[in-house]
Chains A and B, each alone.
Chain A
Amino acid sequence: MATNSGSPGRVRRGLRIPWGMLAAIAAAVALWAAASRLIPQADLYLPSPAAVWDAFVDLLRKGVLPDYVAASIRRVILATVIGLAIGVPLGVFIGINAKVADFFYPLLNFFQSLSGIAILPLVIVWFGFTERTILVAINYTVLFPVVFNVLVGVRSVPRIYVNALRTMGASRLRIIRDVLLPGALPHVATGARLGMAYGWRALIAAEMLVGANGLGFMIFNAQSFFLTNRIILGMLAIGTLWILIDRFLLRPLEADTIQRWGLVQR
């Protein structure tokens, strides 16, 4: 929030309006409008901001845009929730034992660096061009960075804390709850952020290749009908949604966990 970021000595003036940013965006839109006026066949190659606005109003009125935005958001949230629900316990479970962790580390590293988009053709063969294919591919993309980072987080908690609790007779459950989980939390946040960043991109690609709805499908479909204003509208929606997810979900999560728990190691 803008009001909280000021230094303590500063007078707070309610919600600060970022005039500089608004001016820069206005200038960019003006530049875009001018360019669109200058090039031939602008409707095909670079529709004016007004044409994109028309597409926005049109698709909003027909209810297509809200539907597609909701479909994309639903998928990415579902994938993140499932990815965290499976990934965090799995990562902790693998990370408890050093030998088990050493064994799974190279495998997880391989699969987390193998993008969901690479396994998409395989999943298409398995499940066809269906919703399930999209969900499996996105889940895969989100899950592995989470498991991998949680594993690394659990392993990087200094043993001395585990040993200290053990000396005092703590149960294994207690060690997990009071030492390993809090210690790994910054890594959980990193994993979630990386997983969602890759997942969002994979989702757009998967919707292009497989989908029957969603923003990726919308821009890809618009291309085959040469509706360039819809493509640009879709791109604006994709970029804006990601900025919202990043600013209001991922960065606060990361900042909170790192500030709250990140110094456990020192």
Chain B
Amino acid sequence: MKYVDEFRNADLARAVSAEISRLVDPNRHYKIMEVCGGHTHTIYRHGIKDLLPDQVELVHGPGCPVCVLPMGRVDEGIAIAERPEVIFTCFGDMMRVPGSRGNLLEVKAEGADIRMVYSPLDALRVARENPDREVVFYAVGFETTAPSTALTLQRAKKEGIENFSVFCNHVTIVPPVRALLDSPDLRIDAFIGPGHVSTVIGCRPYEFMPADYGKPCVVAGFEPLDLMQSILMLMHQLDEGRCEVENQYGRAVPWEGNLKALEAMAEVFELRPYFEWRGLGFIAQSALKLSADYTDLDAELRYSTPGVRVADPKACQCGEVLKGVLKPPGCKVFGTACTPERPLGALMVSSEGACAAYYNFGRKSFEKVEIGTK
């Protein structure tokens, strides 16, 4: 059986690895941030780190949408879900994201009607099938996911479905990256840009990285060799003194993105003046809310969510990990008080979260280092 052989070919991976090593300046330390949680998952799952020379360090960025959701927004979703008239729908990962009073799975166990869906269109179908109930979809995700919410809202409006609404927590990728670049804590040499976000928004939005900050960016796919090739492309840029946006993932990312998807998003959403990101604080124009034409389908308005702010648990160091200043095992509660079975911080919840990925796939190399240093 053939199974993604071109993108997991060991000989090709070794060849790319050797070429990366050839380009490394032995006296320099390279920090490359993968913005996207899907890339973090691939890096740990396939042991990419072990194929890179010691001088090349991968730093995990803020690109896991459930991980960056602040606890206050989780609590507000739970408050809506607990209303007796509501059928609350959300993606699977969202069910286990901890709020200050537990998570959606626990609230479901206590009797709330909470249903996992694979698509916001499934939530709309639930609304059609339950005209006497209020169906709310908990929308989370970057620009990859926002088009599906936009299309669902367009269909709801067109069909006049009034018992459906969306609790919108969609975020955008460029503002947090800019915030990270402005952060004095962090020195990043180059960026691996998100793949499927870029299928929607294209590559042009990343041009500020080389233009304003002098940082190269390569938009990458999600197979191991996609990432290896992207790192090689970044190393070539750094070696040659070039600084530009390149697209490694041409098979899925058009340079201009998906204009129809962008049009749907522009109709349905508008930028929030600011939004709180877990670990990163408030970032201007970094999230979406429903536009004026869709306020009647906005759960935030329908249920008058108060916009509460809840501090993370003191022991939780998700913020430092999200900013790339701390590796997951450096967190005080990693693997002890905080595990995928019982997550304390959001980064341990989703398989795309840096801590969960490290816990599931990366501990072996960590243990090797630990043993080696003893």
Is B truly associated with A? no
> CB within 8 Å of B: which residues of A?
none
